[in-house]
Structure 1
Amino acid sequence: MAFDMTVRGAPQSYVFRPGCWEELGPRLAELGIGRALVVHGGDSWRAAAPRFPEAGRAEFRFERYGGECTSEERDRLARIAFEERSEAIIGVGGGKLSDLAKAVAGRLKLPVVLLPTLAATCSAWTPLSIMYDRNGAMVAYEIHPRANALVLLDPLVLLNSPPELLAAGIGDTLAKWYEADVILSRIPNPSVELTVASFAARTCRDNLLRDGEAALAALAAGEFDDAFARVVETVVLAAGMVGGFGDRYARTAGAHSVHDGLTILPEAHAVRHGSKVAYGILVQLALEERWAEIDSLLPFYGRVGLPASLREMGLGSVSDERLRAVADRTVEGDASIHLLPGDITAERVLDAMRRLEAVTSFEAEPTRASTFRPSESQTAASEKKPARITGEGDFRGDFI
C-alpha cells in the first residue's frame, strides 16, 4: 500500500564520539565550505566556547541569537549571513537554536551544520523547525526540503549540560512511542517506512524506561558510560527517526498538541519543552482512558524529575478561564491531537486535564516530588567531577 509521505530519515553526516567537535574544520573543508555564520546562545555558549574548535581554513562570523526561534530572528540572521556571503549556517546550542539555524539555512538554501550542547530534543536530527512568536507561543512548523548537512554530537560537551535538560529530553522522546503508536497501530498494512518508524518509537520507550535514571546519574557524576550514550542517542537519533521515516503518520499526536496549548501561558515559558510534552503524554493517555498506563508511568516520572501535573510545573493556580484557552489552543485547526480516535474537543481536553490533576494530587507514590524539581542525584551535577569515559561500549560512532 502506498502512503502519501516523504522520508527524511537522517542527516547527511552524523558523528557521535568524544572530541568530535575537533573535526569541524576538516569536515567543512570536505563540504567545500569556506565561510560560515555561527549562531550561538548565551549560557550554552559560555559552557561550549572552550571546546569550540579553530576554524581551520574557514572564516567564521559569530552571532548570538535572541532566545526564541521566530520569523523575525530568522530573517535578521539571514540578512547577516547574506551580507557576509556565508556558505553555511552553523548552530551551536540547544533545540530552539538548532531549529533557528535550520530555518536560516532553509531561507538562504544553504547547508546547516549543528553542534548540539545538550540532548533535550531531536532537533539536531530532523529537517524541521518549530517557530514561535515573540511571546514564546508556538505558531507553526517549517519542514525543510534538505537534510541537515552535518551533526557533531560530542558527549564531552553534553556532560556539561544541566541534568534537568536531559530529563526534559527524556520526556520529549518518551512521547514518540505514545504519539506514534496511537496512529500506527490503526494502520492495517503499514509500509516498510512506517514499520521502521514504529520500531524506532518502541526503541525510544524501551531505552528510556530502562536507562533513563542511570543516564541522569552518569551525567551528575560526569561519566560517559553505556547508559548515558544510549539515552543521548535515543533522544537525538532514534527520536528523529520516528518522524523522519513516519512523516505525518508518526511525528506528533496528543502530547505535542498539549505542549502547544500550554505555550500561550507566559508562566509556562520557564518550563522546558520536553517537560510540557511529558505532561502532554499523560493528558493524551487520559483522553484515551488509559489510566493503568498512567499509573505505570508515574513512578518513572518521579524518579527522573518529569512533571505529572500542572501543579508540578508551577501552573496549579492558572484560572479555569485560562485553562479553557489552553484547551482551545490544543485543538485549534488541524492540530495533531485530532489524530487520536474519536472527536477531540476542547471540553474533552479540559476534562482530561482536570481528572489528571485530581489523580496526581491524590497520588501517594513516595518517589513523587511535591513540586517539579531535579532529584538529589541530578542536583549533584552542580559539583560534577571532570568527565570520564567508562563502560564497555565503543563510543566512536560515525554515521555518514
Structure 2
Amino acid sequence: MTKQLIVRGAPQEYELKKEAWKSLESHLNRRNIKKVLILHGEKSWAAVKTYFPELSITKAFHYYGGQCTDSAAEKFASLCMEEQFDGIIAVGGGKVADLGKFVAYKVHLPILILPTLAATCAAYTPLSVIYDEADVMLRYDIFPKASDLVLIDPAIILQSPRELMIAGIGDTLAKWYESHAIISQLEVKPVEVQVAEFAAKKCREILLEKSTEALVAIDTQEMNQAFIDVVETNILLAGMVGGFGDEYGRTAGAHSIHDALTVLPDSHQQLHGNKVAYGILVQLMIEDELTEIKNLLPFYHQLKLPTNLVDLGMHLTEEDYQAVAERACAPGEMIHLMKETITPDLVIQKMKTLEEFTR
C-alpha cells in the first residue's frame, strides 16, 4: 500500500501557558502584522471576548457565519483583499479555525489561531474540512503551509462546555483506531509513520487514563494536570498523527462514517466528535474487533459517548441506511484504506449489528 507521505508536523509556533493570549500583540509585532481580520464564533466569542487583549494595531472583528464553506471563504478572502489585511486571527472552535486557515490560504496571509475549546485538532492541522450550506461535509483541503501560531490559554478552555471536551475526546480517540487500521498493514514503517503511530497510541493511553479526572476539572472549575494533558492530547498529539503520518495516519473508517452521517439532517444536531466516536465502534465492528468494543464500552458509558444510533438520537429508515452506507463507501473515501473490502451492504450489516450488540 503506497499512500502520500508528506510531513506537515506542526504549526510554525505553538504555545500553551497561563494568560497566553496577553502575548498576542508581541506575536503580531514579531511578524510585522499591522492590520488583522479577526474571525470569531458567536457563543464562544460572547464567553471569551473579555479575555481578548487590547491591540494597538488596526483590527476588524467578524462573526464567521457558523460554517466553513467555499462561499464563506470567498467572502472573507475578498474582504481581506479589499481592506488590505496583512494577517488573520481565528478565535473559537474547529470550524472557525478551519475557515481562518482556508481564507489565509486563498489570500496568502499568516493565520494565528486562538482556540476556545479542545473539541478537535483543527487548531493544529494544516487542513480545513469544507461543508456545503446544508451542513453536508464535502471534502477536506490540505494546505502546503502550516498555521503561523497556535496560542492556548488552558484557563479559557477550562470554561468551555463539558460536552465539547467530551466530543473532543471521542474525536481524538479515533486517532489510534483509524491510524492502526492503516499502519498495521505496512511491512516497513518509515520513521515518520513511526512518529505518527507513537502519537496515536499516546492519544488512546492518555484519554483512557485521564479523561475522567480532566472532566472533574471542568466540573469544579479547578485546573489540574489531567485537564492540561487532555487538552494537549486533543489538539497537539491528535494533530501530530496526521501531521507525521499523512494519509497513513489521518482518517479511515470512523471519520468516513461521520462524514456519511452528515447526509442525514438529523445528524446535524450532534457534535462532530460524538459522531466520530460512534464511527469508531462501526469501524471496530467491520474489523470484527468485538473484544475491543467490549473494552471501550465502560469508558463510553462513563463519558456518555454514543454507542449506537439511538444514543445519537437517530432512527434510520432502510433508505437512510442505504444513503449513509453509499456515502461512506464512495470512491476515494478513507474507509477503503482499511484492509477489509468495504461495500455498502457490509456497512449496513455492521451498523445494524452494532445496534443489537450495544443494547
Question: Which amino acid in 2 is paired with 1:182?
Answer: A
Match of 2:29 in 1: 29
Deviations 1:97-143 (A, max 9, x none): 10000000001011100000000000000000000000101001111
Task: Evaluate the alpha carbon distance shift between residue 275 and residue 3 of structure 1 in structure 2; reply closer, same or farther with a 3 A threshold.
Answer: closer
Question: What is the distance in 1 between the residues matched to 2:187 and 2:219?
Answer: 44
Question: Which amino acid in 2 is paired with 1:353?
Answer: M
Question: What is the CA distance between 1:318 and its match in structure 2?
Answer: 2.1
Per the alignment, in what secondary structure is the counterpart of residue 36 of structure 2? strand
Question: Which amino acid in 1 is paired with 2:40?
Answer: H
Question: What is the CA distance between 1:342 and its match in structure 2?
Answer: 2.2
Per the alignment, in what secondary structure is the counterpart of residue 106 of structure 1? helix
Question: Which amino acid in 2 is paired with 1:334?
Answer: G
Match of 1:97 in 2: 96
Question: What is the distance in 2 between the residues matched to 1:220 and 1:90?
Answer: 30
Q: Select which of 314, 326, 338 maps to 1:328.
A: 326
Question: Which amino acid in 1 is paired with 2:36?
Answer: A
TM-score, normalised to structure 2, is: 0.98
Per the alignment, in what secondary structure is the counterpart of residue 90 of structure 1? strand
Match of 2:129 in 1: 130
Per the alignment, in what secondary structure is the counterpart of residue 341 of structure 1? coil
Match of 1:398 in 2: none
Q: Is the aligned partner of 1:207 residue 2:172?
A: no
Match of 1:345 in 2: 343
Aligned 8 A contact 2:4 2:246 in 1: no
Aligned 8 A contact 1:164 1:305 in 2: no
1:201-240 aligned within 5 A: 201-240=200-239
Per the alignment, in what secondary structure is the counterpart of residue 118 of structure 1? coil
Question: What is the distance in 1 between the residues matched to 2:133 and 2:344?
Answer: 25
Task: Evaluate the alpha carbon distance shift between residue 276 and residue 3 of structure 1 in structure 2; reply closer, same or farther with a 3 A threshold.
Answer: closer
Instruction: After the TM superposition, list the runs of 4 or more consecutive aligned residues in structure 1 that deviate by more than 6 angstroms.
Output: none
Question: What is the distance in 2 between the residues matched to 1:118 and 1:169?
Answer: 9
Question: What is the CA distance between 1:243 and its match in structure 2?
Answer: 0.1
Question: What is the distance in 2 between the residues matched to 1:63 and 1:84?
Answer: 13
Match of 1:242 in 2: 241
Question: What is the distance in 1 between the residues matched to 2:98 and 2:111?
Answer: 10
Question: Which amino acid in 2 is paired with 1:223?
Answer: E
1:241-280 aligned within 5 A: 241-280=240-279
Question: What is the distance in 2 between the residues matched to 1:4 and 1:79?
Answer: 32
Deviations 1:66-121 (A, max 9, x none): 11110011111111111111111110000011000000000101110000000000
Question: What is the distance in 2 between the residues matched to 1:82 and 1:352?
Answer: 49
TM-score, normalised to structure 1, is: 0.88
Higher relative contact order by CA 8 Å / sep ≥ 6: 1 or 2? 1
Q: Is the aligned partner of 1:59 residue 2:48?
A: no
Question: What is the CA distance between 1:4 and its match in structure 2?
Answer: 4.0
Question: What is the distance in 2 between the residues matched to 1:192 and 1:180?
Answer: 15
Question: What is the distance in 2 between the residues matched to 1:73 and 1:127?
Answer: 18
Question: What is the CA distance between 1:3 and its match in structure 2?
Answer: 7.1
1:93-242 aligned within 5 A: 93-242=92-241
Question: What is the distance in 1 between the residues matched to 2:303 and 2:275?
Answer: 14
Aligned residues: 359
Question: What is the distance in 1 between the residues matched to 2:164 and 2:241?
Answer: 21
Question: What is the distance in 2 between the residues matched to 1:66 and 1:147?
Answer: 23
Aligned 8 A contact 2:185 2:339 in 1: no
Question: What is the CA distance between 1:258 and its match in structure 2?
Answer: 0.2
Question: What is the distance in 2 between the residues matched to 1:215 and 1:97?
Answer: 24
Identity of aligned pairs, percent? Answer: 48
Aligned 8 A contact 2:126 2:147 in 1: yes
Question: What is the CA distance between 1:219 and its match in structure 2?
Answer: 1.1
Task: Evaluate the alpha carbon distance shift between residue 67 and residue 4 of structure 1 in structure 2; reply closer, same or farther with a 3 A threshold.
Answer: closer
Deviations 1:6-49 (A, max 9, x none): 10000001110110001101110001111110001110000010
Match of 1:7 in 2: 7
Task: Evaluate the alpha carbon distance shift between residue 4 and residue 320 of structure 1 in structure 2; reply closer, same or farther with a 3 A threshold.
Answer: closer
Aligned 8 A contact 1:218 1:228 in 2: yes
Question: What is the distance in 2 between the residues matched to 1:174 and 1:78?
Answer: 34
Deviations 1:181-221 (A, max 9, x none): 11111111111100000000000000000001111111111
Question: Which amino acid in 2 is paired with 1:97?
Answer: V
Per the alignment, in what secondary structure is the counterpart of residue 214 of structure 2? helix
Question: What is the CA distance between 1:156 and its match in structure 2?
Answer: 1.1
Question: What is the distance in 1 between the residues matched to 2:321 and 2:52?
Answer: 43
Per the alignment, in what secondary structure is the counterpart of residue 140 of structure 2? strand
Question: What is the CA distance between 1:65 and its match in structure 2?
Answer: 1.4
Aligned 8 A contact 2:17 2:152 in 1: yes
Q: Is the aligned partner of 1:44 residue 2:44?
A: yes
Aligned 8 A contact 1:3 1:191 in 2: no
Question: What is the distance in 2 between the residues matched to 1:42 and 1:219?
Answer: 21
Question: Which amino acid in 2 is paired with 1:214?
Answer: E
